[in-house]
Amino acid sequence: MTGTPREILGGRLRIALEAAGLDPERGEVSAAADTRFGDYQSNAAMVLAKKKKANPRQLAADMISKIDVGGISAAPEVAGAGFLNFRLEPEFIASCIQELAGDPRLGVVPAKAPRKIVLDFSSPNVAKPMHVGHIRSTILGDCLARVARFLGHDVTTDNHIGDWGTQFGKVIYGWKHFLDRDALGRDAIAELVRLYREVNRIEETDEAVKKSARDELVKLQAGDPENLAIWKETVELSWREFEKLYALLEIRFDERLGESAYNDALAPLCEELQRRGIAQVSEGALCIFFPEVPALAEKPAIIRKSDGGFLYATTDLATIEYRIKRWSPDAIWYVVGAPQALHFQQIFAACRRMGIEAGLAHITFGSILGEDRKIMKTRSGENVGLAEVLHEAVERARKMIATRQDGLSAEEAESIAQTIGLGAVKYAELSQNRHTDYVFSWDKLLALDGNTAPYLQNAYVRIRSIFRRGGIEADPLAKVLISEPAERILAIKLLQYAETVPVVLEDFRPNLLANYLYELANTYHSFYEACPVLKAEPAIRASRLLLSEVTARTLAHGLSLLGIRCPEKM
């Protein structure tokens, strides 16, 4: 097999189109929307007929007379307004599954043109806890990095920490006057948040404290040794807390440069942009105007305020320049919420003016809602902490395991609880269309039925239990036999894994992979109900065991690309 069934059929169709004097680029084939009529389909005849003002069914018939799909598919059939339907031959399906059985990549071919990609995601703020709003950026970014690396791209993950800003004047003043060292040791971020809130509260009625906090910020920005030391300690303490959560989620970063890393580059960048005529002074502020972009015509990017201060736009442009010089990437992807869309439109437009050629993408996402369909908050109105969500997920999974526990050691039960709980949170995110808001429901995300991680993990466990019960392993050299409809449907679904994974990066949609895995699990369930495995006669049993093994491997591999583990027991 040199490619997926879709690629092979598409290649044959393009040859036929060229032979018929038609545009071969229109030879696209996709999985059939309704498998009653075939396994794959193409609307090429309808597209080309509209262009040529011809009868699409007649054009489809002409294509069939030119196409050679011998040994792959039965002769294509014309359906509806001019669809071409292809039904794969059982022998072809069997040979493809035979190849998958010995392929560690499960048919997924590396990208033909691998790219160097910088992926910016998560980005928590120093001295503040990571909260539920960080779930989407963190988990989505990690998944995209996993998929891109598996497809052969050179990915650098960069966690752009928020470690600079006006809040540090308050934190430093609070540190000097109200710090509880014991509390700092127990929970550093909680103590830093307490200091900030305490100073914020006092400032409301005490102008002297307000001025002192501003003075502390000015001293920090001027390089005062004491304030720099306090600031560095807050950064390191915060990062240690963040690292605990990243370790729990099994997420790593290649780089973590905060906003402060670019401070020295901001003034020279502004001078350079002004010298090149890209930026100009308007009402005392240095701005970049975008008359060539209608949506931004009246929305300039301010890169230096009239008081000489710099903004996020300045830092982000300096960051892009740094990334270009250090890594020479082909693309820089930002996994940041939709409310920042205007900011990134301005930044990307400025980069085009600066002559930066790397592909820049803002990968947006919606919000996580509580079961009241409002932005998820605590009862006191605070953002729900990410640590609390993750620990509660594990605790709920722990209770679920306790009701089903069958001879598990305490260590096994705890490991499984972590795998199920954390997997459930990740899958709840990744199974959604990233553009939409979604409701965070504990009962739904931990359910053992429906489109959830526990359901998929349980499907994997049930398949592996077949081998444990039989005391056997699948023979990768066993002859694959496709005779029953359920076998055929399962085999074709397995072949579509290699067609699904690359599409995830086309519009940054992990939900396509999640939905595929859910369909695969359902398809296997139907196969298992219709086709006895261990009780079948030897040749058929060996074939069905091999189909089961490839299914288990595909579920585990697909979930690993989502950052989710599969337990061996549940």
Q: Strands 30-31 and 280-282: what pairing?
A: unpaired
What's the pLDDT at 52? Answer: 83
**Predicted confidence band of residue 398 (pLDDT cuts 50, 70, 90):** very high
Give the rounded distance of the alpha carbon of 363 from its chain centre: 9
Closest residue by Cα to residue 349 from 390, 289, 305, 298: 289
Q: How many CA atoms lie within 13 A of 123 on its CB side?
A: 17
Question: Among 90-99, 122-131, 200-209, 372-381, which stretch is predicted with the lowest mean pLDDT?
Answer: 372-381
- CA distances to 37, 104, 272 from 143, in Å: 35, 20, 37
What's the pLDDT at 51? Answer: 84
C-alpha 283/C-alpha 305 separation (Å) is 10
| pLDDT for residue 101 is more than 90 | yes
Q: What is the dihedral of CA 393, 394, 399, 401, to 10 degrees?
A: 120
C-alpha 361/C-alpha 122 separation (Å) is 16
| pLDDT for residue 158 is more than 90 | yes
Whether 492 and 446 have beta carbons less than 8 Å apart is answered as no
| pLDDT for residue 380 is more than 80 | no
| pLDDT for residue 479 is more than 90 | yes
**Average pLDDT of the residues in 31-40:** 88
What's the pLDDT at 3? Answer: 83
Contacts of residue 127, Cβ cutoff 8 Å, sequence gap at least 6:
167, 168, 171, 189, 192, 193, 196, 234, 238
User: 3-class SS at 146?
Assistant: helix
**Average pLDDT of the residues in 150-156:** 98
What's the pLDDT at 405? Answer: 64
Q: Tell me the pLDDT tens digit for each residue of 121-144.
A: 999 999 999 988 899 999 999 999
Whether 112 and 87 have beta carbons less than 8 Å apart is answered as no
What's the pLDDT at 537? Answer: 96
Edge-first strand listing for the sheet containing 154-158: 154-158, 116-120, 331-335, 359-363
**Average pLDDT of the residues in 229-253:** 96
Closest residue by Cα to residue 438 from 381, 370, 368: 368
What's the pLDDT at 397? Answer: 94
**Average pLDDT of the residues in 462-473:** 92
C-alpha 144/C-alpha 157 separation (Å) is 10
Closest residue by Cα to residue 137 from 120, 157, 158: 120
Whether 434 and 363 have beta carbons less than 8 Å apart is answered as yes
DSSP 300: P
Q: What is the dihedral of CA 115, 116, 122, 125, to 10 degrees?
A: -150
DSSP 278: S
What's the pLDDT at 381? Answer: 64
Q: What CATH class does 386-561 carry? A: mainly alpha
C-alpha 258/C-alpha 159 separation (Å) is 8
Whether 400 and 413 have beta carbons less than 8 Å apart is answered as no
| pLDDT for residue 232 is more than 90 | yes
Q: Tell me the pLDDT tens digit for each residue of 481-527.
A: 999 999 999 999 999 999 999 999 999 999 999 999 999 999 999 99
- Using only C-alpha atoms, the chain has a radius of gyration, in whole angstroms, of 28
- How many percent of the chain have pLDDT more than 70? 98
Q: Name the CATH superfamily, with its identifier, for domain 5-88.
A: Arginyl tRNA synthetase N-terminal domain (3.30.1360.70)
Higher per-residue pLDDT: 467 or 2: 467
| pLDDT for residue 20 is more than 90 | no
Q: What is the dihedral of CA 46, 48, 50, 53, to 10 degrees?
A: -120
What's the pLDDT at 152? Answer: 98
Mean pLDDT for all residues in the chain: 94
pTM: 0.94
**Average pLDDT of the residues in 449-466:** 96
Q: What is the CATH topology of the domain spanning 116-159+256-363? A: Rossmann fold (3.40.50)
Contacts of residue 65, Cβ cutoff 8 Å, sequence gap at least 6:
none
| pLDDT for residue 1 is more than 70 | no
- CA distances to 117, 141, 316 from 358, in Å: 9, 19, 15
> What are the structural domain ranges in the chain?
5-88, 116-159+256-363, 167-249, 386-561
For the ranges 160-169, 326-335, 366-375, the one whose mean pLDDT is highest: 326-335
What's the pLDDT at 207? Answer: 94
What's the pLDDT at 345? Answer: 97
